[in-house]
Structure formats: C-alpha cells, structure tokens
Amino acid sequence: MSGRPRPGFAEAVGWSYVLALSRVGVTTLVTFVLAAVLGPEAIGLVAMALVFILFVEMLLQQGLLPAIVQRSELRQEHADTAFWLVVGIGSLLTVAAAGLAPVWERINGTPGLALLVWGLTPLVLIQSLVVVQEAILRREMRFQSLAVRTMAVGLVGGVVGVACAFSGLGVWSLVAQQVSGALVGVVVLWRVSDWRPRWHFDRVAARELFTFSRHSAAASIGVFLGNKADILVAGIFFGPFVVGVYRLAQRAASTGVEISGRAMQAVSLPELSARQHDMADFARRYIRLQQLTAAVSLPVLGALAGVAGLLGPALGDDWTLVGVPLRGLAIASALTTVAAVAGPALQAMGSPGALAVISWARAVFVVLGLVTVGLLLQGSDDQTRLTAFVAVMIASAAAAFLVMAWVLMSKLRLSARAYAGSLLPGLAGGLVATVVGWGLATVLGAELLPLLGLLISAAVAVALGGLTSLAAVRPVVPLRRRRKALPEAEGFTPLKTPDRAPAQP
C-alpha cells in the first residue's frame, strides 16, 4: 500500500533479526539491571499487573494484525476500517481494564496491585494507535522500519526505567519504563510509516476482515493463556516473590527465543502468505524456514541451559533460585521455537481455526496442570514450586509440538523423515552448546566473577553450537506421503504435483 518495492526474503530476514536483537539487547540489559536494583518482589508485582494488561492488548492486536498481513488483496478500505475498529475497541478495553483492576487485585490477594494496573492501563489505548501501521509494515516486509521503532522504544524506556529506579521510585520505575517506551513507539512508527488513515469506515471490508480475524483472535487467546498461565497461576497461589524469580527465568529464556527464532517467525507469515496458491512451493519454503529456525535457535537455548547456574550469583543473593526454572524453561522454549513457523504456516494457508484448536488445547493443559500444582504445593518451599511449574511447562510444550507437527505433516503431506530431517542440524548444535556452556560455566564460575563467567561461557557455547548446526544444514526435500485424495481444509487447494518435489535451491 505504500508503493515502495517489497524487500527480498534475505533482506527481510536480516532486518527481522536486527529487530529482535535490538529489542532483546536493550530490554534484557535493562531487565537485569532493574532486577539487581529492585529485587524479585518488585519484578513479580509488575509481572502480575502487566500480564493483565498484555491480555487486553492481545485482544486488541492479534485479531486484525494477522488478517491484514495474510490477505492476498488489501485495499485502502480494509486498512481504514481496521484502524477505526481498533481505536474504538481500544478505547472500550481501556475503560474495561481500569474497571476490572480491583477485581484482579482481589483474585491475587495482593494489596496495591490495582494501582499498578491503573498505571499500565494507558498502554492499551497507546497500542491501538499503531496496530494497523505495524501490520502493513509486516505485510510489506519492511522490518527495517520496525527495527528503528523497537530500538527507540528500548532505549528511551530503558533510560527512563533505570533513572527512576536509581531515584528511589521502586516498582513504579517499571511502570514508567513501559509507558514511556510505548509513547515513543507511537511517534516513531507514525514517522516511518507512509500509510495514514482516512475518515472512512466500510462495512463490507469489516466483514471480510472479521471472517479471518475471529479465528485468529481465538488462536491468539489460546496462545496467550498457554504462555502466560504460569504467571497467572503463580500470582494467585504463591505471591510476587515466586512470580518475580520465575518471571526473570522466563525473561531470560524468552530472550533466547527472541534473538533466534522469533525473527524467522515474524517473516514467515508474509513469506508463506505469498505462496498460498502454490502449495508445493509452500511446503518447500515451510521446511526450509523450519530448518533455519531450528539451526539458529537451538544452539542459543542450549547455551542458556548450560550456563543457567551462573545467573543467580551474577544478580545477587535474592536470585539464587533462578537457575532451576531457567534450565527447564530453556528446554520448553526449545520445543516451542522449533514449531514456531507452524503457527504462521496455518494462518498463511487460511487455516487459523486449526491453530486455535491446538492453542486452546495447550492452554487448557497448562491451566489444569498449574492449578493442580498450585493446590498440591501450597505448603512447599519455593524451589519445589518452581520446579513443578517448569515441569508442567515442558510437558505442555512437548505435547503442543507433537500435535502441531502432525497437523502440518497432514496438511502439507510431508513425510516424518522430511520433517525430522529439518530439525537435526539444530538439535546437533543445541547439544554441543549445552555441553560446552555447562563445562565452561563450571570452570569459569569458580575462577571469575559470575557475570563475566556467564557472558564468556554463553558466547563460546553459542558460537560453537551455531557453527555445528549451520555446518550441518543441507537442502531438505519435503517428501510427500502418498494419498488417494487430499482432504479439503479451510482455504486449502489440493496439490497437483509429483510425489517428490524438487529440492529447495
């Protein structure tokens, strides 16, 4: 819609990784500084408030953003209508979030939580102003512009948060970090985006967007609950200290995902959507994307699991328990990341309903498992609680991975050999990184300062694991299983191709 030429895949991937690295590099540094200054209690309180706001933001964003990216034809009427829908819904959700804040405080039994929710509530309305611009930039694969926005948000929010923390504002430093960063993000995104909304609302366009977005939103709710149920349940049963320790471990694990697999996932939806009418080409590209995602992400997460024992000593005595959940969450994140391309693939082929079912099944599994753990372990020590919570997350990630793999192999008629073959280079690199990271952390942790030992061990482990996985990467031929008739899936066109597709060049 901007009239600019669409960047090539390699350029889009490069800028997508710049986007991920810029977001993670700054926010991770800021998070660890704030964690060392403020301690687990403050981190846990804001995590409990922020998960409520993030749920509201997800309702606002995830329905229409994938619908705009996925459409084979996007008219000005679609963008205009989506913008005013999002702003209107965002206004209503902002009021609703503010009204429900005291209820959320009572559910968690944590005095003062409503005040933090009120402080974070403006994020919902702020986010509504950039949903459509971000969707259009992603559709056009202009990740350079998104990277500029992300770097500005991280830098400004980080500076404000750290300055407030050292000024003695305590937990409100984290609120100031979030709100200031979001405001800067709006300004920057409107500057880098060529698109501007008109005063126009088209009912036909709204119906067309809604047809797709209702399934996408349902899937997003399931994904959110599956990913955030741990914070929700831990806050209700165990309070802010356990949430704070768990949240920092989760943040470290998500850092590994962000700098490795998330960038490829962001590119996958527009890249695969452009091939939705040629499913043979779609299958080849999907396998290649998954192979590259595993090859890059698993060494990073393997290294994180190897050096996890040094994170607590590096941050201070209050964080001694963080190593146990970090190792487990690195494993769970590895399972989630290798299937990260599957979600965009289902959306791109017009089957968000299947993604919704899988996401909700995982969410139910996670919630039931965590509630059971919460009820059974109320009198247990914090380390036992954290270990049990992580075990549930690993089990849910493994189950979701297996189901997602089966669905994609069925829809694309992929053989188990081709699917597994795309993961082997990443698995080899991840194993090397884990062993190297653990060995170096054991030696250097006793010889150097914990933070220095952690950084050196992680860097060497990632380098050796990454070289191992990338050296093993080879073109994978997506062999297809023979079948008399291909089932008609939502938005799926039967293949008319030979049983063997040519290898990806």
Residue-wise pLDDT for 41-72, tens only, equals 899 999 899 888 988 887 776 656 666 666 66
Mean pLDDT (the chain, rounded): 80
- Give the pLDDT band (50/70/90) at residue 35: confident
Query: Is 80 exceeded by the pLDDT of residue 330?
Result: yes
Query: Is 70 exceeded by the pLDDT of residue 298?
Result: yes
- Tell me what the mean pLDDT of segment 154-178 comes to: 91
By percentage, how much of the chain surpasses pLDDT 90?
Answer: 24
- 68, with CB counted inside 10 A (0-12, 13-18, 19+), is buried
Q: What is the pLDDT of residue 479?
A: 55
Q: What is the pLDDT of residue 451?
A: 83
Please name every residue paired with 480 in a beta bridge, in sequence order, or none if there are none: 414
What DSSP designation does 485 have? S
Residue 174, phi then psi, degrees to nearest 5:
-70, -35
Q: What is the pLDDT of residue 114?
A: 93
Cα gap 488→111, rounded to integer Å: 53
Name the residue with higher pLDDT: 146 or 488: 146
Q: What is the pLDDT of residue 61?
A: 66
Q: What is the pLDDT of residue 352?
A: 67
- Tell me what the mean pLDDT of segment 130-155 comes to: 78
Cα gap 64→214, rounded to integer Å: 9
- Give the pLDDT band (50/70/90) at residue 104: very high
- Give the pLDDT band (50/70/90) at residue 502: very low
Cα gap 354→329, rounded to integer Å: 26
**Of the candidates 322, 362, 30, the residue with the CA atom closest to the CA atom of residue 163:** 30
First to last CA, the chain: 30
Q: What is the pLDDT of residue 148?
A: 76
Query: Is 90 exceeded by the pLDDT of residue 99?
Result: yes
Is the distance from CB of 359 to CB of 219 less than 8 angstroms?
yes
Most confident among 140-144, 193-197, 382-386 (mean pLDDT): 382-386
3-state helix, strand, coil in the chain (%, to 5): 80, 0, 20
Report which residue type is found at 388: A
pTM to 2 decimals? Answer: 0.71
- Tell me what the mean pLDDT of segment 287-292 comes to: 87
Give the distance from CA 142 to its chain's centroid: 19
Q: Which of 20-29, 96-105, 199-208, 244-253 has the lowest mean pLDDT?
A: 20-29
- Give the pLDDT band (50/70/90) at residue 192: confident
- Tell me what the mean pLDDT of segment 367-393 comes to: 88
Q: What is the pLDDT of residue 120?
A: 94
Helix, strand or coil for residue 193?
coil
Q: At what angle do helices 240-257 and 323-338 cross, to 10 degrees?
A: 40
- Give the pLDDT band (50/70/90) at residue 194: confident
Query: Is 80 exceeded by the pLDDT of residue 3?
Result: no
